[in-house]
Amino acid sequence: MATYSVISKAQLDKIREKVAPASADSALEERKRLKERSDERSAQWPNTLSAQRARKEKTRQERLAAEEAERVELDRQEAELRAEQRRIQIERANKILFDETDRVKAFHGKMLLSDVMHENEQLIEIKRQIDVLKRAQEQAFVEQQRQALEAAEAAELRKLEETRRRAMAQREAQLAQLEDLKSKILAERALDKKEGEILKMKALEEAEQMRLKDEARQAASRKLMDDTRAANSALQQFRIKEAERAKEQEAAIDAYAKKKAELAEERARREAEKRAAKEAERKRVADKIEDNHRQLMAAEEARIARDVADADAKAVAEAEARRRKAAELAAAIDASRQAQLRAKAAGKAAERAEEAEYVAAWKTRTSALKQEEDEEKLRRMAVGKQLAAFQLRQAAIKARRLADARIAELQEAAQLALSVQEEEDIFLRYAAECIDEYRRQGKPTAPMELHLKKKTTLETMR
């Protein structure tokens, strides 16, 4: 059994278009449409050759546009720079022409007088400052010399005090040595005295022993004489022997006493010699100390005199060096001032020569410009004359021409009066600015003010 489907008319028309044979025009349109769709689709692809060419072309166009904008900006800046340079040159030329007028030259002369007065005041102030510095240097030098002398005197006083202290210490040491020597001498004397006393005691003891022995012997003799009275001959013999022995003992005692006296005399002589030698040595040491002290004092006085002479010679040499240095400094200052004046004069001469050269060149240029302007005026005048002739031929009214001429004359006179007043105002403003600038710099402005007052008075009288 067959089945049927229901479709709309639009769908049916589409199906018919697809199955129907296409005509040549419709096929061409279809190809164009497909080509456009393909181009639209491929234009969105970044990796195609056409896209790369388009991108490169776009980059090149942007670069060229940027370069063109940069060139335009450079041209604009160069045009502004040339216009500014032209304006500066015109202003400089106008200023030079303005400076070349008589009243401006006279005013500049007063300005130069003010500069000269200011420089003179500065030179006077510099000279005063130099004098003050010289006085300060001299006072400082005097103070330095005074301090140096005080320091030298203090050093000398310290040296003298040190020398005196050393001498006193040496003297005290010598006195201590003398005291030690005296103590040794007294100790030796005491020792000698003690030895003498010991010898004396020994002699007394020996004499006492001899006396005791003698007494014992005499007692024994008496006992023997009492005991041996019977033996007279033996006793007599014994007595003779005893007498001889007594004589020998007395001779021995006398010899001992004599020897003892000789020893005492020898000891006394040696002690006297020792005392004389010690006294001579002490005197020699004292004389030596006194001679050394005198030599030290003489050497110190000679050294002080020599130092004083050296200090005086040094002070004289330093004073001469200061005087010579001051003279050299004054000569150098004078030479520097002269060189500055010469350099300033040369600079001013060069500046004047440069200004004169520039003025001459600008005058030449001004003459050329004036000639060009005159030619332009002549051309314009010729055109004006032709136009006036045409107007005269057209108007044919003599009264109107005379009226126009009168009006032109009045306008020219008014313009001339306005130019003179503007020039006067410019000059007064320029003079006021110069006076204010000089006043700010601390320069005298009396010459310029007097010149302006004099000029104002003359104009008022006129």
**What pLDDT was estimated at residue 424?**
74
Are both 398 and 360 inside the same structural domain?
Answer: yes
Q: How many domains does the chain have?
A: 2
Are both 113 and 52 inside the same structural domain?
Answer: no
Residues of the domain holding 298: 100-411
> Would you say 130 and 333 are in contact if contact means Cβ atoms under 8 Å apart?
yes
Residue ranges in the chain whose pLDDT is less than 50: 414, 416-418, 458, 461-462
Give one DSSP letter per residue of 59-99, joined into a string: HHHHHHHHHHHHHHHHHHHHHHHHHHHHHHHHHHHHHHHHH
d(CA 334, CA 326): 12
Are both 229 and 266 inside the same structural domain?
Answer: yes
**What burial letters (b/e) apply to 294-325, b meaning 16+ CB within 10 Å?**
eeeeeebeeeeeeeeeeeeeeeeeeeeeeeee
Q: Which of 411, 435, 453 is the last residue of a domain?
A: 411
Residue 433 counted as domain residue:
no
Are both 69 and 175 inside the same structural domain?
Answer: no
- C-alpha 285, offset from chain centre: 62
Are both 82 and 168 inside the same structural domain?
Answer: no
Are both 149 and 54 inside the same structural domain?
Answer: no
Are both 251 and 112 inside the same structural domain?
Answer: yes
Three-class SS state of 445 = coil
* Residue 20 DSSP code: S
> Residue 107: is it exposed, middle or buried by C-beta count within 10 angstroms (0-12/13-18/19+)?
buried
Give one DSSP letter per residue of 273-335, joined into a string: HHHHHHHHHHHHHHHHHHHHHHHHHHHHHHHHHHHHHHHHHHHHHHHHHHHHHHHHHHHHHHH
Are both 92 and 104 inside the same structural domain?
Answer: no
Total residues found in the chain within this entry: 462
d(CA 367, CA 379): 18
Are both 73 and 202 inside the same structural domain?
Answer: no
**Would you say the pTM of this structure is higher than 0.95?**
no
Are both 244 and 353 inside the same structural domain?
Answer: yes
d(CA 401, CA 404): 5
Are both 234 and 211 inside the same structural domain?
Answer: yes
Question: Which value, in Å, is the radius of gyration of the alpha carbons in the chain?
Answer: 73
**What pLDDT was estimated at residue 457?**
58
d(CA 169, CA 3): 160
**What pLDDT was estimated at residue 418?**
42
Residue 140 counted as domain residue:
yes
Q: Which of 386, 411, 436 is the last residue of a domain?
A: 411
The answer for residues whose C-beta is within 8 angstroms of residue 435's C-beta and 6 or more apart is 445, 448, 449
Are both 68 and 147 inside the same structural domain?
Answer: no
Task: Write out pLDDT tens, residues 174-183.
Answer: 778 777 877 7
